Amino acid sequence: MEYLGCLDLLKSGTEEEIMHSLADTAANVGFEKIIFTVFPRRNTQSGSTYTYSNCAPEWMQRYEEQAFATIDPCMEHCMNRKLPLIWDETHFVTEQQQMLYREACSFGLPAGVTLPVHGDRGEVGMLTCATAQAPRMALDDIVSALPHLVLLRDLAFESFSRFAVPPRPVDVPKLSRRETECMKLNAAGKTSWEIGKLLCITESCVNFHFNNIRRKFSVSHRHEAVIRALEWGLIN
């Protein structure tokens, strides 16, 4: 397969040129439809999600309107795993998931492969490659396509990152070691009291650090600072 030409295009192409190249590459190994989705960070609201696909616009709109991402087993897999998922109807277990699957089938997406995306700056997402031919595709054929799809996933993330991930500003705040520790623990869901216990400092000291953090990030709430720190790669 002509990966070198594809790679040159991915480095300099427009969004449409990149998608066409990716779609052609996926089709060469038996998958006609692709969906590339990236959240700039875990638990991002849907409005901040970056998605590009050659699927029917009606399906993509339906998927978003019905918030199918919250019940999609492929999305759940990608949020927690790094290995590819070869999926079919057996992965859609609950009544809501079965409804999602039936609608996906009506748009020609009965089975496929989903590859998780995990970026260095906290981005999460997936590249899904599907085809109306897979459940009839031999498992050996799907497995043999995985190395190509893994490369395709990496090319997609590298190429679409300039569109999908907010750029890091020049004047990024500098955090002390203790401020970084506080922000990491807060991003993990810890309260000021819990952070104090883990770091062996008082709760008031934790709040003092967060006051400095809010000032450095020019925000009113600590979670806003944590979100920006995740986006800019200051914490992970």
Nearest to 180 by CA among 164, 188, 44: 188
> What's the pLDDT tens digit per position in 135-184?
566 677 778 888 888 988 988 888 877 776 656 666 788 899 999 999 99
The two beta strands, 124-131 and 111-118, are antiparallel
Helix, strand, coil percentages in the chain from 3-state DSSP, rounded to 5: 55, 15, 30
Q: 131 with 31: CB under 8 angstroms?
A: yes
Q: Determine the pLDDT at residue 203.
A: 93
Q: Determine the pLDDT at residue 164.
A: 65
Nearest to 105 by CA among 125, 131, 84, 124: 131
pLDDT classification of 42: cutoffs 50, 70, 90: low
Average pLDDT, the chain: 84
Give domain limits for the chain. 3-164, 177-231
The CATH architecture annotation of domain 177-231 reads Orthogonal Bundle (1.10)
How far apart CA 116 and CA 85 sit, in angstroms, is 8
Q: Which residue has the tokens 């991003």?
A: 187
Residues facing residue 86 across a β-bridge: 113
| pTM given for the model | 0.68
CA distances to 18, 152, 160 from 8, rounded to whole Å, are 10, 13, 14
**pLDDT mean over 78-104:** 93
CATH of domain 3-164: 3.30.450.80
